[in-house]
């Protein structure tokens, strides 16, 4: 139920003794286009705005589509502009109503289906105010539990772009989402990178109806320009994958409102499905988790994540270790080669530092000072 702009579970669910018993499906959404929403229940198809609808379209009302979190509230913030988007505007949007300002309710999750250009040449990220806003939101948002900041990794794989070049998706405060096809394979456009956290379904698979079905602007103003085009059937890209994970995050916070932003990430990492296990991109990290620059920890699994959230023990408070400046004193070689698609680089410039503190690393490499972009 919705109270003060916040979604609360109507019933408290408790884990039971593990004994076998039958379970039956109680209901499926009665929205007429649900059958086409293969990203919610993949049965083989293909072999507000669009983003908001993917995350939280009101379901079960006999109209159109349903969202991943069909009872969540939605707040639309005007931000993205090709010609005028300042550091201050970004910072204000990413902290807007993050802690019940003015008694108007709290925005828990910020979905960001935008970022720097995906041209393979742009190295860009948040400026000083926005970097501070990302840190502040996760530290004090939601009454100190932290805002959940979901980011699309970008669609520039074909231009050899990499999510690591995107300082928004690559921020440790962000939850970076890539895209897979209806067959669970990495898409041709979803950018790889060490920062990719999980994936979600989007277009790129076989079949005529393999894109995402969602809401659209009323009439001729949106993706569907037909007079009755209130629903879009061709939504695509990592912009469509990210709001699915935002919706899953809403389900987790409904199941367990005490989760911190880091708890949400831990739960998603532990429950993500291992897709395309034959891919050579998978590596086993020191913590025993499989991770891939293409798939992150895997395909986000709403059901498994929600079940784990119900019995989750919060992780310990975050600790930071700062090494200080590490001088490398070595040139960074420019790429060269036969063509842009066959780059040749020199040996990497590296520096080594031994950490003597007893820590379990969640993330490394974050800048500790205002370095130039």
Rounded Cα gap, residues 250 and 18, in angstroms = 27
Q: For 251-283, what is each residue's pLDDT tens digit?
A: 999 999 999 999 999 999 999 999 999 999 999
The larger pLDDT score, comparing residue 34 to residue 143, is at 143
Tokens of 172: 């440790």
Instruction: Report the predicted TM-score, pTM, of the whole model to 2 decimal places.
Output: 0.83
Domain range list for the chain: 2-321
Rounded Cα gap, residues 154 and 239, in angstroms = 8
Residues contacting residue 307 through CB under 8 Å, at least 6 positions apart: none
* pLDDT value at 136 more than 90: yes
C-alpha Rg value of the chain to the nearest Å: 21
Q: Domain 2-321: give its CATH superfamily.
A: Peptidase S8/S53 domain (3.40.50.200)
Q: For 302-320, what is each residue's pLDDT tens digit?
A: 999 999 999 999 999 988 8
Q: For 40-49, what is each residue's pLDDT tens digit?
A: 666 655 547 7
pLDDT at 358: 83
Q: Using H for helix, E for strand and C for coil, what is the string for 195-247?
A: CCCEEEECCCCCCCCCCEEEECCCCCCCCCCCCCCCEEEEECCHHHHHHHHHH
């Amino acid at each position: 139920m919705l109270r003060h702009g916040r979604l609360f579970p109507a019933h408290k669910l408790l884990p039971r003794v593990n004994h076998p018993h039958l379970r039956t499906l109680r209901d499926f959404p009665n929205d007429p286009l649900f059958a086409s929403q293969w990203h919610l229940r993949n049965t083989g198809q293909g072999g507000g705005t669009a983003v908001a609808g993917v995350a939280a379209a009101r379901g079960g009302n006999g109209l159109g589509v349903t969202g991943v979190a069909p009872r969540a509230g939605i707040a639309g913030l005007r931000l993205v502009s090709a010609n005028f988007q300042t550091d201050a505007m970004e910072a204000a949007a990413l902290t807007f109503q993050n802690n019940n300002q003015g008694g108007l309710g709290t925005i828990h999750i910020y979905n960001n289906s935008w970022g720097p250009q995906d041209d393979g040449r742009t190295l860009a990220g948040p400026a000083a105010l926005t970097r501070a806003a990302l840190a502040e939101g996760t530290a004090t948002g939601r009454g100190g539990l932290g805002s959940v900041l979901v980011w699309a990794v970008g669609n520039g794989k074909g231009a050899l772009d990499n999510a690591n070049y995107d300082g928004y998706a690559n921020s440790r405060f962000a939850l970076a989402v890539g895209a897979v096809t209806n067959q669970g394979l990495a898409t041709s456009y979803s950018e790889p990178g060490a920062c990719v956290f999980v994936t979600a379904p989007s277009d790129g698979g076989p079949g005529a109806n393999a894109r995402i079905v969602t809401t659209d602007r009323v009439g001729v103003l949106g993706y569907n320009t037909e007079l009755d085009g209130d629903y879009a059937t061709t939504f695509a890209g990592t912009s469509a994958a990210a709001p699915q994970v935002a919706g899953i995050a809403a389900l987790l916070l409904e199941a367990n409102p005490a989760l911190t932003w880091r708890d949400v990430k831990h739960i998603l990492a532990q429950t993500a499905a291992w897709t395309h296990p034959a891919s050579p991109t998978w590596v086993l990290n020191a913590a025993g988790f499989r991770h891939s620059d293409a798939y992150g920890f895997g395909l986000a699994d709403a059901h498994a994540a929600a079940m784990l959230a119900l019995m989750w023990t919060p992780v310990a408070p975050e600790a930071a270790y700062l090494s200080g400046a590490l001088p490398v004193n070595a040139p960074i070689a420019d790429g060269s080669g036969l063509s842009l698609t066959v780059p040749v680089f020199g040996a990497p410039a590296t520096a080594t530092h031994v950490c003597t503190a007893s820590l379990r690393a969640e993330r490394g490499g974050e800048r500790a000072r205002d370095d130039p972009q």
